[in-house]
Amino acid sequence: MLVIIGYAVAMGCIFGVYIVHGGNIGVILTALPFELITIFGGALGAFVVNNQPKVLKATIAMIPQALKTSKYTKERYLELMALLYDILQKARKEGLMAIEKDVENPEESAIFKKYPTVGSDHHVVEFTTDYLRMMVSGNLNAHEIESLMDNEIETHHQEAHGPIAAIARLAGALPAFGIVAAVLGVVNTMGSVGQPPAVLGGMIASALVGTFLGILLAYGVVEPLGGLLEQKAQDSAKELECIKSTLLASMQGYNPSTAIEFGRKVLFSTERPTFIELESHVRGKK
């Protein structure tokens, strides 16, 4: 909703001031379809050439997320840490082998079913169970698992930023394609030098619309979209870091209550629950 409001405010102010100052909106509307086809057509073709199919698919899948509110809320993190607490508490009381079935079949696990929001998230479940499985096997120490976690989070970071980088490159190219459209308009105008001044003025104005649209689309539409998606990607990585800190703390011998405190501390302050909130939530879920 905020995205739509932001775009509406930007476009309303830009075109509203233009009209109030006596600008002829008809000139822009007349040239708009042709200029948009030139700019977007050229940019889309270059975008396809510039990116691998997997990045193109990821970009298409990622763009709709900009219109949705972030799922990474305080409530989600409370549920995540309560899930981790229950698993670690079970392992502490009954031994690591007691959680083997939960790790191998999380979809059948009573613990994972208890927390449907994070328990149904494929990335959270896979990341958590993979490292719990290593803890159960006992073949790796905390430093080795930490290095492996860092590598996986870095890979996740790179994959998430592939579409963001592609959108940033697209934003940088749009002004250039706007200039291309404007130059073509000038070429067309120069071929009609014998026309009356009024006609030539309209043709030149239409040509300049291309430059205007290229800059507007780059800095008023595409670049803000890329910035928003980048922030959402950072939220996704932060959840994995929370799981990492909690599991590593447990491997180093801390009890479950202290381990989830390690995880709580890495969260952004806007979504981080307080110590009392987390303790109350965990006790309430027992």
In a domain, 26, yes or no: no
Domain contains 6: no
Q: Return d(Cα 279, Cα 28) in angstroms, integer.
A: 59
Number of domains in the chain: 1
For helices 256-265 and 275-284, angle between their N-to-C axes, nearest 10 degrees: 130
Among 228, 241, 229, CA closest to 268: 241
pLDDT digits (tens, 9 = 90+) for 91-132: 888 888 889 888 889 888 899 999 998 988 888 999 999 999
By residue range, what is the domain housing residue 86?
32-286
Instruction: Tell whether 56 is covered by a domain.
Output: yes
Higher-confidence position of 23 and 199: 23
- pTM (two decimals): 0.82
Which residue matches tokens 């449907």?
116
Which pLDDT belongs to residue 285?
58
Assign residue 138 a region: left if phi > 0, alpha if psi is -120 to 50, beta otherwise?
A: left
Residue 10 lies in a domain: no
Does 23 reside within a domain?
no
Residue 3 lies in a domain: no
Q: Is residue 90 part of a domain?
A: yes
Query: Do the domain assignments include residue 155?
Result: yes
Contact 246, 214 (CB under 8 A): no
The tens digit of pLDDT for each residue in 32-70 reads 888 888 998 999 999 999 999 999 999 999 988 888 888
